[in-house]
Amino acid sequence: MNRMILVLLATAFLAPATASALGVSIVGVTSSGGTGATLLNGQTVTLDILIENSTGESVAGLGIGVSGYEAGVPGNTNDNPLVFVSGQNSSAFNTAIIPTLGPVGGLATNPVSEIGASFPIMNPRRVQLFNGIDLVGHDGDGTNDFGVNGAQTGIGGDFHLQVTFRAQGLGASNANPTNVVLEIGTGQFGNAALDVSGSLLSFNNAFQTITIVPEPGTALLMGLGLAGLAGSKRR
């Protein structure tokens, strides 16, 4: 009896952590320079993102965004280390899809767009990757969704969401690179995962650190210039 009680107590403690596996994961990070999550000024980075629902949560509303790239004045892109370039998405949790007609039995979505405004509203800038709602819940894992590049999603397949940023290394140096932590998921700016009753669902966000460094050529020229000055002084 005591052993059974201990097992029940252990299960109760574990339940909140394992009750839901609804969330997103980053399945690809590529840059225009081929260096992954490390960028030179002007280079771009593209994140491939998969929406996961391995425990079959019934989802009727879903909003997924990307934040964390705004470092200065809200709404001002000129002081952000990363600048939004573009993005793609597809439906989620659908059981079937017809590419020419859109999702059948799944959550539709709006196009990827950057949200935020400068003075006088001064809203922080963020990217809205997915924003869908339906009258019924969807518990699929998206494996029948053809994804943003036309291949079915799921393990070894395509992905649901894609976003691209361009680096502008404000103040970055070889000694002190700029690190930007992007957060992808819900819980920000009204984004949420909801069931058919409108209640919040637990959602696992994903995080990606992007490192921005100056161009090697610039640093090399600076070094050569300093060496030249030192040599002229010795003469």
pLDDT tens per residue, range 66-84: 999 998 888 888 899 999 9
Per the listing, tokens 């995962």 go with 193
Burial grade of 109 (CB within 10 A; 0-12, 13-18, 19 or more): buried
> Residue 28 sits in a domain of what CATH number?
2.60.40.680
| pLDDT confidence tier of residue 58, bands split at 50, 70 and 90 | very high
pLDDT tens per residue, range 154-197: 777 899 999 999 999 888 888 899 999 999 999 877 899 999 99
Per the listing, tokens 């959602």 go with 203
Q: Which amino acid is at 142?
A: G
Per the listing, tokens 């593209």 go with 46
Number of H helices, E strands in the chain: 2, 13
| pLDDT confidence tier of residue 100, bands split at 50, 70 and 90 | low
Let me know the angle formed at the C-alpha of 203 by 145 and 50, rounded to the nearest 5 degrees: 30
Q: Which amino acid is at 191?
A: N
Q: Is residue 141 part of a domain?
A: yes
Q: Is residue 7 part of a domain?
A: no
How many angstroms separate the CA atoms of 184 and 186, rounded? 7
Give me the sign of the Cα torsion angle 183, 70, 76, 164.
Answer: negative
Burial 21-60 (b: 16+ CB within 10 A, else e): ebbbebbeeebeeeeebbbbbebbbbbbbbbbbeeebbbb
Domain that holds residue 110: 23-228
Q: Is residue 8 part of a domain?
A: no
How many angstroms separate the CA atoms of 230 and 104, rounded? 70
Q: Is residue 6 part of a domain?
A: no
How many angstroms separate the CA atoms of 174 and 159, rounded? 34
Q: Is residue 99 part of a domain?
A: yes
Q: Is residue 134 part of a domain?
A: yes
Lowest mean pLDDT among 114-118, 132-136, 182-186, 192-196: 114-118
The phi and psi torsions of 211 (rounded to 5 degrees) equal -105, 130
Q: Is residue 11 part of a domain?
A: no
Q: Is 70 exceeded by the pLDDT of residue 29?
A: yes
Total domains, the chain:
1
How many angstroms separate the CA atoms of 52 and 43, rounded? 29
Q: Is residue 101 part of a domain?
A: yes
pLDDT of the residue at 121: 74
What does the pLDDT average to over 127-133?
Answer: 93
Which residue would you say has higher pLDDT here, 62 or 99?
62
Per the listing, tokens 């201990």 go with 6
Asked if 72 and 116 touch (Cβ cutoff 8 Å), the reply is no
What does the pLDDT average to over 221-228?
Answer: 49
Here the tokens at position 49 are: 């993102």
